[in-house]
Structure 1
Amino acid sequence: MPASPTLWTSQELRDATQGQLPGEVKVHGVCIDTRTLQPGDLFIALIGHNSDGHRYLKQALEAGASCVMAHDKTAIAEAGLADDPRLLQVDDTMRALEDLGRYRRSQFTGKVIAITGSVGKTTTKNMLATALVPYGQVHASVASFNNHWGVPLTLARLPKEASFCISEVGMNHPGEIAPLAAQIRPNIGVISTIGNAHLGHMGSIDAIAKEKATLFAALPASGMALCPENSQGLARLKDALPAGTPLWQVGMTEQATVQITDLACTAEGSHFHLVTPQGEVDVELKPPGPHLARNAALALGVIAALGLSPAAGANALRHFLPEAGRGQQRLLPGNVTLLDESYNASGPSICAAIETLALMPAGRHLAALGDIRELGQFADAEHRALAEPLTKHNILTFCCGSHMKSLYEALPPSLQGGYAETSAQLASLLQPALRDGDVLLVKGSLGSNMRTLIALLEQPVPATPHAPESA
């Protein structure tokens, strides 16, 4: 198997970080967690809330790291690495990671796309990464690496020879997007949605729109911005654009720059026609749900904004499938279909998942829902509002978490499946209630631990013991 290309040379590491590296190394990847380290990686010892990477310096080298970056002199000495030629010693590893990202971005000659949004940013990023493959080498952020360490790590991993870099940008407090956007320096900025995620920290939808708009403010005049045509806070987004930077709106009206027509959504997937400034194309998606069609339209809109015909991208999207936790479907024991939306949740994303669930043929539709986090004083009202779509689609609902109790009590008794304080406790109520042919949606914020519920449901159903026969 051929060796992977060199991502960083010793001199580049020195130039980027102004650190001390006595030896000559070739780095093929960048890693901050020894559990995912690959031979040839640069291991960066970051200090987090609950961990310190300096504890794993020796372990990283034993696992095949070609170089380790560290700043804690005591930890370096304790690991016996003070004179190791593979040690890149810097003043601060977090700042040095950012330096790596900025250095690589300054070298990069391809196109950079940054995506943010209250809902759908990761799926839109994944769709765009899939759709861009026919046009050149694509580098995209892993999972949801969209915060103060995820963004520079994405840039530090960027191959110089790639044609496209896609970086996801997240936030849950004011002032977080601008410094990340300054590192990314995007050519194209995408806002997937503006909704009530993190409303408790932000205070209002207008404040959320203002924060998201800082991504557009980071664009050059030669850049391009895209967002849904019905975005809340659209005036905020327009005001943030630098003079001369165009905004393409994606939607279903004739005024949309990228227009969706003839949208048809079934349990087997979605089909629509897309009209872009670079040509028209028919789009077919395997996963169901109108929200995925909208995400796909944004992704193909980016391709058009790059000046490319969207036909090859639409063809690539025919094979797109969601990740676990983001709409993946699979069977649970007892012939129950799981719609796995367990990674995260907001009011709009739960409503979109309910729409998808309702499309799927089933003996019964069920939902297991965990708390939506970071809603503050708006939490109970936002949870109660979900009673309407659940009632409309006649979905038997199981809930866990203190805020979901508000929703559970707002449901008609016929749709109250069961309530528990935790996801693990809910599993013991839900599992015996499941029947052959059910379709079950599982969704909640990451902190609601709905993955725990799924793991318990995936265990084989214990056989019911037979009563002993009479003698």
Structure 2
Amino acid sequence: MSELWTSQEAAAATGGTAPVAFAATGLSIDTRTIRPGDIFVALKDQRDGHDFVAQALEKGAAAALVSRRPEGVGADAPLLIVGDVLAALEDLARAARARTGAKVVGITGSVGKTSTKEMLRHVLARQGRVHAAEKSYNNHWGVPLTLARMPADADVAVIEIGMNHPGEIAPLARLADLDVAVITTVAAAHLEAFDSLEGIAREKAAIFTGLRLGGTAVINADLETTSLLQKVAAEAGAAPLLFGHEGTRARLAEARLSDGGTDITAEIDGTAHLMQLAMPGRHFAMNAVAVLAVIQALGLDVAQAARDMADWTPPAGRGTSESLALPQGSVRLLDDAYNANPTSVGAAFEVLAATSPAAPDGRRIAVLGDMLELGPGEAALHAGLAGHPAISAIDGVVAVGPRMAALDAALPAGQRLARFDTAAAAAAALPDLLRAGDVVLVKGSLGSKVSQVVTALREAAKQGT
């Protein structure tokens, strides 16, 4: 790998001291995944990273970014000593951004951030050198870490920016110094921290404050809060580029869902582009149109990007599809267990409804974990899922967690397949509840731990082979 930071460059960027010279090829905050040549960043979160510096160096770290010399680490150890580790990581991020000629795209939204980031990364990689985080690194340490890892010769960087509370997005967007900013959607998520959908929209719109002068604001035109987003973008001096269904520069003209995927017709500034996605989903179709809008804003080849969508697949836990050979026969698993809110669950219902069981007795089954951080109205939001149009195509619902009890109670008896208080209980029971040909959607907030059901099904398949 090529050199990313020398001790002199890193010290100059952070104002720190590096008594022992080093040259690094990357950065890491986790000794479990650290690679030789990385700078280990000793952040203090649930645990103090200084406690793991010696281990990182033993694993081949080029240096450690620290605020003090940890116990047991000798004077000959390659350290970059700073006043505050997180602030120094942000300094490295600023320096990395300043030294590159890359265009930087920031993506936020209540739903679809990571999938859109990965879709954009995929098509950009066919048109130049693209840099993006390998995971959903979108918070106060994930954004600076992603920027600090950016090679100087990158052509484009894609930065995901998330939030849980007011005031989080603006400083991260400014740190990234964006050329293009995207808001995928604004939906009922994190309502514990916001008093309304408008409050969520204002926080999402703060991404536009990080745009460079003349930068492009890519905005979903189909939202209740679109006018608010446009107003904030205009105040930031951004050039708007709207995507959506009607009256937009980037228009989703048609999306046809089938077992085999999604066929899309998009119009970008009046030019039609056909796209094929390997998985069903109207939400994926809209994300794909947003990606084409970004490609247009960057002045790249929109037609090539549309063609390159065909071999994109979503990240793990965000809508992947796989066949599992259980002892009773094959079932199809739709793994969407990474996160959930009412909008994304509705989108997952549409995908499940469009996926046909593979046997005459096969059923469409939705295993649903709690949607978290929805605030005082959480019970009504859970129960309200029973009214989604696509749920009529679902044969059985497995409700997992105390909040999903509200949905279970709102469903007709014929759709109530099972209810469990915990994901662990559901994981233990579910393999025996299924039959050959079933299609099983697993969806829930990360904290609901409904991914345990996914793990249990995969383990049952391993044992059955």
TM-score where L is the length of structure 2: 0.95
Show the counterpart of 1:469.
Answer: none
Question: Does 2:341 correspond to 1:342?
Answer: no
- Which shifted more, 386-395 or 447-456? 386-395
Q: Give the AA of the match of 2:68.
A: D
Task: Report the Cα distance in structure 2 between the residues aligned to 1:89 and 1:111, rounded to whole angstroms.
Answer: 31
Q: Deviations over 1:394-452 (max 9, x none)?
A: 33000111110001111101000111110111123322210000000001000010111
Show the counterpart of 1:420.
Answer: 420
Show the counterpart of 1:64.
Answer: 60
Would you say the 8 A contact 2:262–2:279 is kept in 1? Answer: yes
Q: Give the AA of the match of 1:340.
A: D
Show the counterpart of 1:159.
Answer: 151
Change over 3 Å in CA distance of 1:142–1:462 after alignment to 2? closer
Show the counterpart of 1:16.
Answer: 13
Q: Does the residue aligned with 2:368 lie in a helix, a strand or coil?
A: strand
Would you say the 8 A contact 1:329–1:339 is kept in 2? Answer: yes
Would you say the 8 A contact 1:279–1:309 is kept in 2? Answer: no
1:278 CA displacement? 8.5
1:35 CA displacement? 0.6
Give 2:73's match in structure 1, choosing from 62, 71, 80: 80
Task: Report the Cα distance in structure 2 between the residues aligned to 1:258 and 1:80, rounded to whole angstroms.
Answer: 56
Task: Report the Cα distance in structure 1 between the residues aligned to 2:132 and 2:461, rounded to whole angstroms.
Answer: 39
Show the counterpart of 1:449.
Answer: 449
Question: Does 2:213 correspond to 1:221?
Answer: yes
1:182 CA displacement? 1.1
Would you say the 8 A contact 2:118–2:315 is kept in 1? Answer: no
Residues 350-389 of structure 1 correspond to what in structure 2 (within 5 A)?
350-362=345-357, 363-389=362-388
Would you say the 8 A contact 2:262–2:276 is kept in 1? Answer: yes
Task: Report the Cα distance in structure 1 between the residues aligned to 2:82 and 2:185, rounded to whole angstroms.
Answer: 39
Show the counterpart of 1:247.
Answer: 240
Q: Does the residue aligned with 1:12 lie in a helix, a strand or coil?
A: helix
Task: Report the Cα distance in structure 1 between the residues aligned to 2:50 and 2:213, rounded to whole angstroms.
Answer: 43
Task: Report the Cα distance in structure 2 between the residues aligned to 1:371 and 1:58, rounded to whole angstroms.
Answer: 40
Task: Report the Cα distance in structure 2 between the residues aligned to 1:176 and 1:102, rounded to whole angstroms.
Answer: 17
Give 1:52's match in structure 2, choosing from 44, 48, 51: 48
1:279 CA displacement? 4.4
Task: Report the Cα distance in structure 2 between the residues aligned to 1:463 and 1:16, rounded to whole angstroms.
Answer: 53
Q: Give the AA of the match of 1:347.
A: P
Task: Report the Cα distance in structure 2 between the residues aligned to 1:69 and 1:427, rounded to whole angstroms.
Answer: 41
Task: Report the Cα distance in structure 1 between the residues aligned to 2:317 and 2:2, rounded to whole angstroms.
Answer: 32
Task: Report the Cα distance in structure 2 between the residues aligned to 1:128 and 1:150, rounded to whole angstroms.
Answer: 18
Show the counterpart of 1:31.
Answer: 28
Task: Report the Cα distance in structure 2 between the residues aligned to 1:243 and 1:379, rounded to whole angstroms.
Answer: 34
1:51 CA displacement? 1.0
Q: Deviations over 1:260-294 (max 9, x none)?
A: 22322211111122221384321111111111011
Would you say the 8 A contact 1:97–1:152 is kept in 2? Answer: yes
- Which shifted more, 330-339 or 355-364? 330-339
Q: Deviations over 1:9-57 (max 9, x none)?
A: 1111111111110222110010000111001000011100x21111111
Q: Does the residue aligned with 2:213 lie in a helix, a strand or coil?
A: coil
Would you say the 8 A contact 1:140–1:165 is kept in 2? Answer: yes
Show the counterpart of 1:270.
Answer: 262
Would you say the 8 A contact 1:187–1:220 is kept in 2? Answer: yes
Show the counterpart of 1:317.
Answer: 309
Task: Report the Cα distance in structure 2 between the residues aligned to 1:168 and 1:263, rounded to whole angstroms.
Answer: 26
1:461 CA displacement? 6.9
Task: Report the Cα distance in structure 2 between the residues aligned to 1:461 and 1:281, rounded to whole angstroms.
Answer: 40
Task: Report the Cα distance in structure 2 between the residues aligned to 1:379 and 1:409, rounded to whole angstroms.
Answer: 14
Show the counterpart of 1:467.
Answer: none
Would you say the 8 A contact 1:151–1:169 is kept in 2? Answer: yes
Q: Give the AA of the match of 2:242.
A: Q
Residues 426-437 of structure 1 correspond to what in structure 2 (within 5 A)?
426-437=426-437
Task: Report the Cα distance in structure 2 between the residues aligned to 1:364 and 1:171, rounded to whole angstroms.
Answer: 37
1:84 CA displacement? 2.1
Q: Give the AA of the match of 1:451.
A: S
Change over 3 Å in CA distance of 1:222–1:407 after alignment to 2? same
Task: Report the Cα distance in structure 2 between the residues aligned to 1:309 and 1:394, rounded to whole angstroms.
Answer: 40
1:85 CA displacement? 4.6
Q: Deviations over 1:348-392 (max 9, x none)?
A: 000000100100111210011000000110110110011123642
Would you say the 8 A contact 2:102–2:154 is kept in 1? Answer: yes
Would you say the 8 A contact 2:161–2:172 is kept in 1? Answer: yes
Q: Give the AA of the match of 1:167.
A: I
Show the counterpart of 2:458.
Answer: 458
Show the counterpart of 1:409.
Answer: 409
Show the counterpart of 1:468.
Answer: none
Q: Give the AA of the match of 2:11.
A: R
Show the counterpart of 1:135.
Answer: 127
Task: Report the Cα distance in structure 2 between the residues aligned to 1:461 and 1:70, rounded to whole angstroms.
Answer: 45
1:296 CA displacement? 0.7
How many aligned positions are there? 455
Task: Report the Cα distance in structure 1 between the residues aligned to 2:408 and 2:311, rounded to whole angstroms.
Answer: 37
Show the counterpart of 2:287.
Answer: 295
- Which shifted more, 35-44 or 84-93? 84-93
Task: Report the Cα distance in structure 2 between the residues aligned to 1:178 and 1:224, rounded to whole angstroms.
Answer: 16
Gaps of 5+ in 1: 465-471
Change over 3 Å in CA distance of 1:7–1:461 after alignment to 2? closer
Q: Deviations over 1:96-151 (max 9, x none)?
A: 11111111111121100000000001000000001111221000123110000000
Would you say the 8 A contact 1:418–1:430 is kept in 2? Answer: no
Would you say the 8 A contact 2:175–2:210 is kept in 1? Answer: no
Give 1:147's match in structure 2, choosing from 123, 139, 142: 139
TM-score where L is the length of structure 1: 0.94
Question: Does 2:228 correspond to 1:236?
Answer: yes
Task: Report the Cα distance in structure 2 between the residues aligned to 1:428 and 1:60, rounded to whole angstroms.
Answer: 37
